[in-house]
Amino acid sequence: MAGTFVIAQGGGPTAVINQTVVGAALEIRKRHPGAKVLGSIHGVRGIRDGNYVDLSAIPEDRLRLIAATPSAALGSTRDKPDAAYCDLVLNGLKKAGADAFIYIGGNDTSGTQQILTDAAGGKMAFVHAPKTIDNDLEENDHTPGFMSAAEFVAGAFLSVDLDFRALPGIYVGIVMGRHAGFLTAASAAWQLDQDSGPHLVYVPERPFSAAGFIDDVRATLDRHKRCIVAVSEGVSTADGKALVESLVPPERLERDQHGNVKLSGSDLPAALERALAEGLPGKRARVDALGYMPRGYVGAISAVDAQEAFDAGAFAVTVADEGGGSVALQYDGKKTVLKKVPLKNVAGKTRHMPDDFMLPDVNRLSDAGMAYLKRLVPQKYKVGRPFV
């Protein structure tokens, strides 16, 4: 296939999504000399509006520098196209003379590609290349962006555990992840031993009880004299209500442009601090939302993550040449392998963290969960065990 390729980025930026853009752009140059490679500015919005940068005209050394830079160099979008919006995108692709469209992103991105595939009727190749720090795409063992974000989270919780050994108290870190707990679980990846924090890990896959939370913290304090807690922003109560909605008054809830409650915002840290102060009066407690920091931190870019993201972009060109589909990162028992899977297997679906990654009756990771994380996020820093 020669002609014109369009590449776009969707959803939240990561530390390695630019690797996927450049991996695809350079592979197109190699396979299809003379082909035009257009980078859409701000995702599908750029296609709708005809706003592109000509990636085929940019020197390779500059592209490789962009590849090693966090965030989304083309700009991203949170637009969730419906059928009417997708018609505008399809018309934009036709105006650009596109033969293939590679869209890098998560669940919503794959859903957009499925809609476009159905609408185009085989006249264009649509490829979804994976990207999400949530690690929640079906058909994937793990996703580009996750390992780098997990390194940040693992390092942050190792650091805060060392801090609270020196001056004991309660620390709660709120980690991104609306529906899947993989990134929150990564807080335990670099634990020194069973005495180390995080002592408690709360993920969306399990119902959250505020009363049970206070009891867990109290028991941990009795045992360890300190308590380090990792809480996913997406945890919800048994009735399905998000934690932030159960703790924060309705008038103080913040919402995004789609009407979704902002899980880590809306005074959630302050609300959790109040709950701890009321349930455990007199105890020193600090609650922080890690927020956006893990997803594109320049000091926590996993070399393996970067290479796999680049390779996923290159493989997306193969998938385009074969008519379209979704790129998946799978594990064959020894190494990561790239596979082409049908878009319908990924589009609009959420992969949850396996239940056996957590201990049955305790909010801690199991051996299976720790083994998975240690494979993807090996210990990066060697630290001495403190005397306290």
Of the two residues 210 and 264, the one the predictor is more confident about is: 210
The dihedrals phi and psi of 171, each to the nearest 5 degrees, come to -130, 130
* pLDDT band with cut points at 50, 70 and 90 for residue 324: very high
* pLDDT band with cut points at 50, 70 and 90 for residue 71: very high
Q: What is the pLDDT of residue 368?
A: 98
Is the pLDDT at 228 greater than 60, yes or no? Answer: yes
Q: What is the pLDDT of residue 347?
A: 95
| Domain limits, the chain | 4-145+298-345, 148-295+353-376
Mean pLDDT (the chain) is 95
Is 145 within 8 Å of 132 (Cβ atoms)? yes
Is 232 within 8 Å of 203 (Cβ atoms)? yes
Task: Please write down the long-range contacts of 204-207, taking CB distance under 8 Å and 24 or more positions apart.
Answer: 204/177, 204/178, 204/179, 204/180, 204/232, 204/234, 204/235, 204/236, 204/352, 205/180, 205/181, 205/352, 205/353, 205/355, 205/358, 206/235, 206/358, 206/363, 207/236, 207/237, 207/238
Q: Is 311 a catalytic residue?
A: no
Q: Which fold has domain 4-145+298-345?
A: Rossmann fold (3.40.50)
Q: What is the pLDDT of residue 266?
A: 54
- Nearest of 292, 329, 295, 340 to residue 17 by alpha carbon: 295
pLDDT digits (tens, 9 = 90+) for 349-361: 999 999 999 999 8
The CA distance from 99 to 81, in Å, is 20
The CA distance from 358 to 103, in Å, is 33
Is the pLDDT at 153 greater than 80, yes or no? Answer: yes
Is the pLDDT at 265 greater than 70, yes or no? Answer: no
Within this chain, domains 4-145+298-345 and 148-295+353-376 share the same CATH topology: yes
Q: What is the pLDDT of residue 132?
A: 98
Q: What is the pLDDT of residue 44?
A: 97
pLDDT digits (tens, 9 = 90+) for 14-37: 999 999 999 999 999 999 999 999
Considering the four listed CATH numbers 3.40.47.10, 3.40.50.460, 3.20.20.140, 3.30.56.10, the one that applies to the domain covering 148-295+353-376 is 3.40.50.460
Express as a percent the part of the chain with pLDDT over 90.
87
Of 99, 134, 136, 216, which one is the catalytic site residue?
Answer: 134
